[in-house]
Chains A and B, each alone.
Chain A
Amino acid sequence: MKNRLKVLRAERDWTQAQLAVELEVSRQTVNAIEKGKFDPSLPLAFKAARLFGLSIEEIFQDEAGS
C-alpha cells in the first residue's frame, strides 16, 4: 500500500517524532508506514486522516488497484 504520509508531514514541517506523538505510535512505526513496510490498521488510518483533514483514500492508495 502506497501513502502520502511523508509528503503531508513535510508540507506541515512536522518531524516523524511529532507525527508519532499525534498518532500515539512510536516514531519507528511512522517511519515503517511512510516507507510502505507496514500497513496501518483502519483505526490508525482514520486517525491519520482526521489529523490531516483528508479522507483515507487521499492518504493511502492500494497498489493493486492503481
Chain B
Amino acid sequence: MNNPNTKSDSWAAKNTKNTRIIFYWTSAWVLTTALVTFGTEFIWQSDKLLTSLAILLNVVIGFGMILAVKRYLKGLDEMQQKIQLDAMALSLGVGLVVGLGYSSMDQTNLIPFDAEISHLIILMSLTYIVGIFAGLRKYR
C-alpha cells in the first residue's frame, strides 16, 4: 500500500478544513443577523442607512456561507453526498408543502397567530437533521 497517512491527511484534512470554514461563515452570518435585529432595536434605532448597511453585510456574508457549504459538499465522498442530497430534498419538500399549508392556514384565519418565516426555518432545519440521521442509519 502507498503511504496511507499522506492520503488520509489530504482527504480528511481537507474535509476538516472545509467544516471549520463553514463554522466561521455560519457564525459570521448569525452574528450579522443578530446585528440587523438588535442593532435596529437597541443601537441605531431607525437610522435607515445603518440598517441597510447591516442587511447588505448580512446578505453578502450569507452568500459566503453558501459558497462554503458548496465547497464542503464537493469535498465529501459520494455516499456522504447522497445522504446530504436526500436530507436536503426531504427538508425542501416538507418545507414547501407544510410551509404553504401553514401560510394558507394563516391567510384563512384557521390559526389565531401569524405564520412566521422563523417557524418554517425551524421546521426545515429539524427535517434536515432527521434526514441526515435517517441516511446515516440507512447506510450503517
Contact = CB atoms under 8 A, between A and B. Distances in A.
- Is the contact region of chain B dominated by helix, strand, or loop, or is it mixed? helix
What size tier do the contact residues of chain B reach? 10 to 19
B7 A22 contact: yes
Given A29-B77, A29-B78, A24 B138 contact: no
Contacts, number: 47
Interface residues of A, number: 18
A45 B138 CA distance: 21
Nearest to B3: A21
Contacts of A25: 77-79
A26 B80 contact: yes
B79 A14 contact: no
A41 B11 CA distance: 18
Contacts of B110: none
B8 A21 contact: yes
Interface of A: 12, 14, 18, 21-22, 24-26, 28-29, 31-33, 37-38, 40-41, 44
12 contacts: A12-B1, A21-B5, A21-B11, A22-B2, A24-B7, A25-B77, A26-B79, A28-B80, A28-B140, A29-B77, A31-B140, A32-B140
